[in-house]
Amino acid sequence: MTQYLKWMAAVFLAVPGLVFSADGPLSPQEARSSLQVPAGFRATLFAGEPDVVQPMSITFDHRGRMWVVECRSYPSWRPAGTKEGTDRILILEDTNHDGEFDQRTVFFDKGVNFSSIEYGFGGVFVTAIPHLIFIPDANGDDVPDGPAQILLDGFDLMAKHNVANGLTWGPDGWLYGCNGILSNSRIGKPGTPDADRTPMNCGIWRFHPVRQEFEVVAHGTTNPWGLAFDDRGEAFLTNCVIEHVFHVVPGSRFKRMFGQDFNPKTFELMQTCADHIHWAGGTWEGSRDGTGKHGEAGGGHAHSGAMIYLGDQFPAEYRNNLFTLNIHGQRLNRDKLERKGSGYVARHQTDFAPSSDKWFRGVCVKQGPDGIYFTDWSDTGECHNYEEATIHRDNGRIFQVAYGEQRPRAVDFAKLTDRDLIDMLGNRDGFLANHARRVLHERATNHTLTPAAVTQLTQGFASVVASEPHSTKALQWLWTLHAIGELSHARLAENVARIKGIADDTLRGWLVRLTMEASKLSPESQTEMAELARMDASPYVRLQLASGLQRLP
């Protein structure tokens, strides 16, 4: 019996009396029971209808609370200029840490075309097609301080399932997002003349929350609906139809499903970093049911969401694994990311939490304070073919998967001192370290970061590098220094001189990358970088140099 058939049999045996309905979905609790998790793990229903419907995107705030986008607009996106819609933002909190929410707040209930959300800087950022908006809540009372602010416009409203999505914080303090191949967008701040806008369809973009700058990070693929960063700060997108994962290096130009890259003189488009696909060959259309040989290979061609597990609760083999939801295969695909040359290779691992619920349509997966969480749109058919007559808008589920004994993480980062947050940068759990870094960035932006904290970070960095050169702590300190503006022009020469003496090539590469992001690189620094290109044997450092060259005039 194949592995696929074994776990499918286990699902049915584990759920007595489980029956599929041809007319409707399983109940939320039945859907939870249909999930088959490995030994030692447990799945709980964090939330389900009627408490949550159409959960398209989730994120977590500094208190560990979940923020949810309920997208009721799709598939009939509201016309540009629509003032009020029915999309909502919920706040769900699990105060007793049993894996199920027990407090629910409706933060916003008149949303238009909401597709993703990220929390930070005194409010929430939302892709609200054709806009990127910010809904302020500076005092944290869970009530918007005023109307949404439009930060960007020009994302294509006619792209249906290819719209902008996937907001997530990068380690460099920028807000990252995805865009699809049918989304022929021209992006800029409101009022930007068309000639000054940035053209984009499929690929990855980013927005700086303080300077309010926009730029394209990488072009290509098909319809990316997931982006995640590993503990070394490397980005990976997940994709549909063609291969499912690509290593995102700034300036990348990836293989496309169709169409011409924006630079017609590109010598060769970059390929996937995966050594496999999740269907058994042939045309991607033939893998849509996610069963049989396609089920054995991983479930099919369509993927949504991306999470790289950076916690310390799961067994060690799961750390830095990429998880993505296989939409038609009703499961999470799991890839091990291994360094190879200047890049990575993604190797298929045993699929995670397969469901026997034929209505399961996973969309978003995130690491939370006490496990991983993923959303279930709960519908049938092809998500890109939904019509008003067939879509089901009154259901949806969010599941939590945890390992071992529950270990509550009741941390409110806003209440921690600067020193506490700096100490947290060394925590092996990326959920904690990344939130600490973001809060330090916010305090620096609001001018509430103490001079003592800035001194501790700037003067202590060298000792951290000397004592723990290969640690994620050294990287977190570096990213924090960059975010708070302490890798300024005045320090560029110091940074360049420091690079050569660092043992860890990832740290050297990141110093190169952040240095070359400066808008004005002195002739002396350019000379140093040229020497580094000649002398540094690390393929990773050379990759960062090649990437950075695209930023030079």
CB-CB neighbours of 101 under 10 Å:
23
Strand bridging mode 235-238 / 103-111? unpaired
CB–CB of 375/368 below 8 Å?
no
Listing from the earlier edge strand, what are the strands of the sheet with 321-326? 303-308, 321-326, 331-340, 343-348
**Maximum CA extent, the chain:** 73
203 by Cβ neighbours in 10 Å (0-12 / 13-18 / 19+) ranks as: buried
Strand bridging mode 253-256 / 214-221? parallel
Asked whether residue 6 carries a pLDDT value surpassing 50, the answer given is no
55 or 535: whose pLDDT is higher? Answer: 55
96 by Cβ neighbours in 10 Å (0-12 / 13-18 / 19+) ranks as: exposed
Domain boundary residue among 353, 369, 403? Answer: 403
399 shares its domain with 445: no
Please report, for the domain that includes residue 223, its CATH number: 2.120.10.30
534 or 305: whose pLDDT is higher? Answer: 305
SS3 content of the chain, % helix, strand, coil (to 5): 25, 30, 45
Domain boundary residue among 377, 403, 429? Answer: 403
pLDDT score for 497: 67
* 360 φ/ψ angles, rounded to the nearest 5 degrees: -65, 125
Q: Is residue 55 in a domain?
A: yes
Asked whether residue 335 carries a pLDDT value surpassing 60, the answer given is yes
CA dihedral 22, 26, 32, 35 (to 10 degrees): -10
393 shares its domain with 473: no
pLDDT tier at 326, thresholds 50, 70, 90: very high
pLDDT score for 277: 83
Q: pTM here? A: 0.93
Distance CA 337, CA 347 (A): 7
pLDDT score for 381: 72
374 shares its domain with 231: yes
387 shares its domain with 418: no
DSSP result, 115-173: EEEEE-SSEEEEEETTEEEEEE-TT-SSS-SSSPEEEEE---TT-GGG-SEEEEE-TTS
Mean pLDDT value of segment 264-280: 88
Three-state secondary-structure class, residue 286 = helix
CB–CB of 303/240 below 8 Å?
yes
Asked whether residue 17 carries a pLDDT value surpassing 60, the answer given is no
88 shares its domain with 194: yes
Lowest mean pLDDT among 52-61, 280-289, 464-473: 280-289
Q: How many residues does the chain have?
A: 553
362 shares its domain with 474: no
DSSP result, 18-34: ----SSSPPPHHHHHHT
CB-CB neighbours of 392 under 10 Å:
17
Q: What is the pLDDT of residues 478-523, one digit of tens each?
A: 999 999 998 765 565 566 667 777 889 999 999 999 988 876 777 7
Q: Is residue 408 in a domain?
A: no
* 285 φ/ψ angles, rounded to the nearest 5 degrees: -60, -30
pLDDT score for 209: 98
Strand bridging mode 203-207 / 214-221? antiparallel
Residue type, 220: G
Q: What is the pLDDT of residues 212-247, one digit of tens each?
A: 999 999 999 999 999 999 999 999 999 998 999 999
Q: What does the mean pLDDT of the chain come to?
A: 90
Q: Is residue 379 in a domain?
A: yes
Q: Which two tokens stand for residue 243?
A: 């291969």
Closest among 58, 41, 43 to 365, alpha carbons compared: 58
CA dihedral 539, 543, 544, 548 (to 10 degrees): 150
Distance CA 397, CA 551 (A): 43
334 by Cβ neighbours in 10 Å (0-12 / 13-18 / 19+) ranks as: buried
- Produce one character per residue of 495-525: b if its CB has 16 or more CB atoms within 10 Å, e if not: bbebbeebebbbbbbbbbbbbbebeebeeeb
| Cα 452 off chain centre by | 33
Mean pLDDT value of segment 53-82: 96
Mean pLDDT value of segment 50-77: 96
367 shares its domain with 493: no
310 shares its domain with 424: no
CB–CB of 229/235 below 8 Å?
yes
Domain boundary residue among 403, 434, 455? Answer: 403
**Residue for token pair 């409110």:** 412
Handedness of CA 147, 108, 167, 422 (dihedral sign): positive
pLDDT tier at 4, thresholds 50, 70, 90: very low
Opening angle at CA 227, ends 224 and 233, nearest 5:
145
Residue type, 347: R
Q: Is residue 409 in a domain?
A: no
357 shares its domain with 464: no
Q: Is residue 179 in a domain?
A: yes
Distance CA 402, CA 386 (A): 33
Distance CA 355, CA 359 (A): 9
52 shares its domain with 180: yes
Q: What is the pLDDT of residues 337-390, one digit of tens each?
A: 999 999 999 999 999 999 999 999 999 999 999 999 999 999 887 766 666 667
272 shares its domain with 339: yes
Q: Is residue 267 in a domain?
A: yes
The fraction of the chain above a pLDDT of 70, given in percent, is: 90
pLDDT tier at 392, thresholds 50, 70, 90: confident
pLDDT score for 104: 99
- Does an H or E element contain 70, and which? strand 66-70
- Provide the 8-state DSSP code for 268: S
Spell out the residues 6+ positions from residue 201 whose beta carbon is closer than 8 angstroms to its own: 156, 162, 179, 180, 181, 182, 183, 184, 185, 219, 259
Closest among 463, 549, 476, 468 to 512, alpha carbons compared: 549
Q: Total structural domains in the chain?
A: 2
528 shares its domain with 464: yes
Q: What is the pLDDT of residues 282-298, one digit of tens each?
A: 766 666 666 777 777 77
The parent domain of residue 499 ranges over: 414-549
